[in-house]
Amino acid sequence: MYSSRNRYSHKQQDYPSGSVTVINSHTNAGKTSSILAGLEHIPGNFHILAISAVDQPRKSEIYQQLISAHANNPTLITAPTYQGKMGHPILWGNHMRSHLQNIREETLGLRQIIQEFYSDIHQVEFDCADILLDINTPEVYQKHLLL
């Protein structure tokens, strides 16, 4: 799922085939509004849903490694880690849909689900910090655009 105002839309080429692009017209309502907008376009019978913020673009190899890990170890949630720190994207099994549909800004959005199901998360260790990348400034964006 990819949700943005188009600022990084050229990066959608790095998302796996079959990904859906959704533009959230209610961005002022917070991050959860983007996830909820995207969920409206996801088929009810999805197997794996990847959620990552627009300022956290990832190479397709990261998605593929996580998808493979999730398929080989079917859990509710699969997340990448680097040196013990959880990153993005986070993959969600279909059984988590109702939890995702009930997220709210007031209850910390996805963080609440992560906290509630932390012991059930299949953590996949990566050997590079790319899964922690968070692009918050034009300078950081330009630096990583060249990679």
Sorted by where each starts, the structural domains of the chain and their CATH numbers stand as 2-145 (3.90.550.10)
Least Cα distance to 51 among 102, 15, 13, 104 occurs for 15
As a whole number of angstroms, the distance between CA 103 and CA 106 comes to 9
pLDDT tens-digit series, residues 103-136: 999 999 999 999 999 999 999 999 989 899 888 8
CA-to-CA dists, residue 86 to 58, 81, 107, 122, 130, angstroms: 14, 4, 20, 11, 11
Helix (H) or strand (E) holding 138: helix 138-145
Q: What is the pLDDT of residue 137?
A: 84
Least Cα distance to 100 among 47, 35, 40 occurs for 35
Q: What is the pLDDT of residue 58?
A: 84
As a whole number of angstroms, the distance between CA 54 and CA 57 comes to 6
pLDDT tens-digit series, residues 29-54: 888 998 999 899 888 888 899 888 77
Q: For residue 123, give the 3-state DSSP assignment.
A: strand
Across 117-136, b (16+ Cβ under 10 Å) vs e yields eeeebbebebeeebbbbebe
Average pLDDT over residues 87-101: 94
Confidence of residue 77 (pLDDT cuts 50, 70, 90): very high
